[in-house]
Structure 1
Amino acid sequence: MRVCVVGDELVAGLGDARGLGWVGRVMARTTTENPVLVAPLAVPGESTSALSARWESETQRRFGAHSDNRLVIGLGSQDILDGVSVARSRLNLANVLDVAAASRISCFVVGPPPRPDVDDDAVAALSQAFSDVCRRRHVPYVETHEPLRTHEQWHADVAAGDGVHPGQAGYGLLAWLVLHNGWHAWLGLPEST
C-alpha cells in the first residue's frame, strides 16, 4: 500500500516540536500486516487551486503500477485568505476526487481546523462545503473544525506557538479525530484500541 498525503503545512506538522504532526501520529497508531509507504507532500500556504494543479504529477511519482494507491487530502483555510470562493473551493476538491476515482485511487479527506487569524464562520462554511463534496462521492471526510471550534486545549496550544499552527497537543487532537472517524475502515483494518 502506498499513501500520499497532500495539503498545506499542517500535513508537514509545522509547529510540532516532535516533528510528527497529525500524519506521523496517525501512522504510529496504524498497524498493518504489510509495510505502508507514506509520502507526505506538503506545500505551505497551499490553496485548493494549487493543490488541484499539482497533486496528480506528484503522486504519480510515488504510486506504483501494482500497488494499492491511496490519497489523503489535508485541507486548510488558505482559500479564505486568498479570496477563493466557496464554489471554486468545492469545484477544486471535486475535480481532485473525480480524477482520483477515475484512476482507482481511494481518497480520504481531512477538513480545515479553526485558525485564530481566519473568520470562524468562513472556516465552518468551507468545511461544510468540503463535507458535502465528499458525501456526494462517498469519500470519508473528517470534520475537524466543529469539534475544535471551542476546544480549550486546541486554542491554548495554538496560542502557545506561533498563534496560527498547533503544537504537539493540537496535532494529537487532529490525529485522534482522524483515527476515530473512519481511518481504519478506509484502510480495511480493524479499529485500533
Structure 2
Amino acid sequence: MREGMRVCVVGDELVAGLGDARGLGWIGRVMARTTTEDPIFVAELAVPGESTSGLSARWETEAQRRFGPHGDNRLVVGLGAQDLVEGLSLARSRLNLANVLDIASASRVSCFVVGPPPRPDVDSADAAALPALSRAFSDVCRRRHIPYVETHEPLRTHDQWHADVAAGDGRHPGQAGYGLLAWLVLHNGWHTWLGLPSDDG
C-alpha cells in the first residue's frame, strides 16, 4: 500500500466533535470538502479536557504510530481553552505549543493550527483571557510560518455559534457550530496547506 498523505489531528474534545449529533465535528466537515486524487488517511487523536501540557507530552508517540516512514506526514493541532481552566500561564502555553511545532518541524512534519473558539464559562470568567491566549498561539505560529486559524474573534459575537452552544451543554457546539468552525478552517489556508486548489464555495 502506498503511504500517501497521513494527517494526525490532536487536541481536546472539539477534535472529536463532542456534541455533534451527526458525529462529524469540524474535521469530518472539512474532509468532506477536501477533494484529492488519492485518499488521505486522517487520524483524530482527541483527549477530552486536554491542556497544551498534556498535548505536548503525548502527541509525538501517538502520531508516530500513524505516520509513514516515507510518506507525506502532517499534523493538525486543535486548541481549546483548557489551559485557562488549569491556570497555565501564557508563557507556558506558548512554550508547550512551540515545543510541539518545533519537534514536528524537525521531523519534517508540516503543521496546521486551529485556535480556541469562544467558550461561555471561560469567557464569562475573564473576557480578555481567551482572546489573549489565541493571540499568543497565533504569534507562536506566525514566528514559524505555520498556518493559524483564528476562531475566537470571528465567533465571539456570532449569534448562531452562541445559540448552538446554549442549546447543548453550554460549552460545546452542535452541528451548526461545527459547521462554522469548518468554514473558518476551509477559508483560512487549508487547501493551500495541502497543496490543493482553493475552495471558496
One fold, TM greater than 0.5? yes
What is residue 27 of structure 1 aligned with on the other side?
31
| Unaligned residue ranges in structure 1 (runs of 5+) | none
Aligned length: 193
Partner SS state of residue 6, structure 1: strand
Deviations 1:13-56 (A, max 9, x none): 00000000000000000000111000000000000000000000
2:173 matched to 1:162?
no
What is residue 148 of structure 2 aligned with on the other side?
141
TM-score, length-normalised on structure 2?
0.95
Matches within 5 A, 1:171-182: 171-182=178-189
**Amino acid corresponding to residue 66 of structure 1 in structure 2:** H
Q: Give the % identical residues.
A: 83
Partner SS state of residue 114, structure 1: coil
2:14 matched to 1:10?
yes
**Amino acid corresponding to residue 74 of structure 1 in structure 2:** G
Matches within 5 A, 1:1-193: 1-119=5-123, 120-192=127-199, 193=201
**Amino acid corresponding to residue 98 of structure 1 in structure 2:** D
Partner SS state of residue 118, structure 1: helix
CA distance in 2, matches of 1:133, 1:165: 26
Q: What is the Cα deviation at residue 124 of structure 1?
A: 0.2
**Amino acid corresponding to residue 148 of structure 2 in structure 1:** Y
CA distance in 2, matches of 1:133, 1:60: 23
CA distance in 2, matches of 1:35, 1:68: 12
Structure 1 range deviating more: 181-190 or 111-120:
111-120
**Amino acid corresponding to residue 152 of structure 1 in structure 2:** D
Partner SS state of residue 71, structure 1: strand
CA distance in 1, matches of 2:107, 2:14: 26
Q: What is the Cα deviation at residue 66 of structure 1?
A: 1.3
| Deviant stretches of 4+, over 3 Å | none
CA distance in 2, matches of 1:137, 1:185: 17
| Unaligned residue ranges in structure 2 (runs of 5+) | none
Q: What is the Cα deviation at residue 121 of structure 1?
A: 1.3
Q: What is the Cα deviation at residue 150 of structure 1?
A: 0.3
Deviations 1:120-176 (A, max 9, x none): 310000000000000000000000000000000000000000000000000000000
